[in-house]
A and B are shown apart, each in its own frame.
Chain A
Amino acid sequence: MNPDTLNHWLDSCAAAPGMIGGGFRLSDGTCLVKNFNDRWSKEQLEMAVKLLAEGRGLYSNYGFDARWLTWTFAKGEIRVATRPDGLVLALAAEPDSLAAHDFNRLSEEFLAQDFAAG
């Protein structure tokens, strides 16, 4: 994975109004996280990204090989998508915001993106 490409792609996600933050969990277990406003700290987001990445395997055990998961809470929506190469994306947005409405497009883009390229 090219860190610059990952960073650049994550920055592009901030454009959608209502996006709170997001991050990647790489296949080696390290995380790259960004918060786009002060609502949640980077540390909080990193912990959430790790939890979500670790928890995603649960569903495969029950036969649900999900393309992505959407967690909806009163104060935020979180999208988690996983690529075959092990890269996990988590995006957090305000509930029912434009950013949350953009989750599908961003997830499709994430799944198709070549993050190895510079």
Chain B
Amino acid sequence: MADPSYPSDLLYHPEHDWARVEGENATFGITWYAQDALGEVVFFDPPKVGAEISMGDAYTEVESVKAVSDVIAPLSGEIVEVNGALSDNPEKINEDPYGEGWLVKVKLSDPSQTDVLMSAAAYEATLDS
């Protein structure tokens, strides 16, 4: 997508990751800002289902032509599903970062962590500097 977009139904981590939280489960991805800074994503090697991931730690990588970037977990939990379609179409991360470009689904180990994530408005404000 060409223009910045930060859906209001998502929660945001300062390392440019989003979480769509539904009870004890959540979907993670990278924000419009992150994909724009990265440029065209050409490779995504999904992490393993069953892997435990921790808020604030890198859990996977996305690669553009030019560089590889760590992706930071916005919340802690266990990966229960990965977006396997991205192996063949990693450009979905650029084209639809909040939809078809989702990265993993996670069973949250501590849903109360959502308290420290930011709203769309708060996250967007951090990008204005």
Q: Report if A and B associate in a common complex.
A: no
Interface residues of A (CB under 8 A from B): none
Interface residues of B (CB under 8 A from A): none
